Amino acid sequence: MDSRRLGNTDIEITPLIFGTWQAGKSGWVGIEDQDVIDAMQAALDAGITTFDTAEVYGNGYSEELVGKALGDRRDRVVLATKVFANHLKADQVIEACENSLQRLQTEVIDLYQIHWPSGAFNSEIVPIGETMGALNQLKEQGKIRAIGVSNFSRAQLEEAMTYGRIDSLQPPYSLFWRGVETELRPYCVEHNLSILAYSSLAQGLLTGKFGPGQQFPKEDIRSKNKLFQPPLYEKAQAALEQLRSIADRHHTTLGNLALAWLIAQPQTTAIVGARNSAQAKENASAAAVALSADDLADIDAISRTVTDHLPADPVMWTFG
């Protein structure tokens, strides 16, 4: 699998990144530890070298599983993790990083990201300069190699950049959720930030495996996802039917068509999770799907039958 440069760094990342929110289990159902470990190892064997996690996924449990799965293959992988919004004071950032290093069984984190901006989820307001100061210190000490942010607005990103180099933005981005294209993507292109798109399959919706009337248990995060609620869900189903003929023409799945479209966008890589090794191998094959300019235009037009009806709120879930 071809690799791409992470921002202005010398770190090489793959266009498909293995996401491990599900490995933490919180917000997910039916996840088995060994299956996820097998999936990570299968993804690496299939050419995906970049893995993304966070301290908040299962309160560190996801990071522990990443460490178990990849600890003895550390020289082959790029590890990205995140510090949560309630740990953004300088001393908290340092402590959180040390804990993540231990759980990940590594001496250095390749990409360390602010998961949500200060104040999110009723967290304490911390000046971005203080947080960035701690991140710059960790970078100077060699404990992290690059700094990224996630779920930041353009204004928040611009302010953070005044305190140090940021090499990536991690926003929600998929065929069915494209708010990043308005202000954030142009900024990332101009300043050479890599976009690490999360929920790149709209939490499975873009795979086409969920039909009309799909219901999720309240413990499943998708029960709160706006795309799974009417009328957006019905619009998504209609769009998927239109996309199916394009996927068939390329002898690929709906999910891999959506991933191929996403990694063809400027500066963009796609974070995609997997519950088992079969899913991981299938996701990896999306990197081989070559879309023409006409394909991209057709997919874009179909996508907008959904995205034109999205709420202005950039958060994908109704957390209540």
Whether 224 maps to a domain, the answer reads no
- Alpha carbons 293 and 69: distance in angstroms, whole number: 39
Whether 218 maps to a domain, the answer reads no
Whether 231 maps to a domain, the answer reads no
Pairing of strands 12-13, 4-5: antiparallel
Whether 241 maps to a domain, the answer reads no
Whether 248 maps to a domain, the answer reads no
DSSP annotation string for 126-163:
--HHHHHHHHHHHHHTTSEEEEEEES--HHHHHHHHTT
Whether 245 maps to a domain, the answer reads no
Residue closest to 33 by CA, chosen among 46, 20, 43? 20
Per-residue confidence (pLDDT) for residue 219, from 0 to 100:
87
Q: Containing domain of residue 173, as a range?
A: 4-211+253-289
Tens of pLDDT along the chain (320 residues)?
Answer: 999 999 999 999 999 999 998 888 887 778 899 999 999 999 999 999 999 999 999 999 999 999 999 999 999 999 999 999 999 999 999 999 999 999 999 999 999 999 999 999 999 999 999 999 999 999 999 999 999 999 999 999 999 999 999 999 999 999 999 999 999 999 999 999 999 999 999 999 999 999 888 889 888 889 999 999 999 999 999 999 999 999 999 999 999 999 999 999 999 999 999 999 999 999 999 999 999 999 999 999 999 999 999 988 878 888 86
Whether 272 maps to a domain, the answer reads yes
Whether 216 maps to a domain, the answer reads no
Residue 88: which CATH number? Answer: 3.20.20.100
Per-residue confidence (pLDDT) for residue 27, from 0 to 100:
76
Beta carbons within 8 Å of 244's beta carbon, 6+ residues apart: 208, 254
Per-residue confidence (pLDDT) for residue 30, from 0 to 100:
81
Per-residue confidence (pLDDT) for residue 72, from 0 to 100:
96
Per-residue confidence (pLDDT) for residue 320, from 0 to 100:
66
DSSP annotation string for 17-28:
EEE-GGGG-TT-
Burial of 286 (C-beta count, 10 Å sphere; 0-12/13-18/19+)? buried
For the entire predicted model, the pTM comes to: 0.96
In total, how many domains does the chain have? 1
Angle at 103 between CA 97 and CA 109, to 5 degrees: 45
Name the catalytic one among 57, 112, 198, 233. 57
Q: Is 57 an annotated catalytic residue?
A: yes
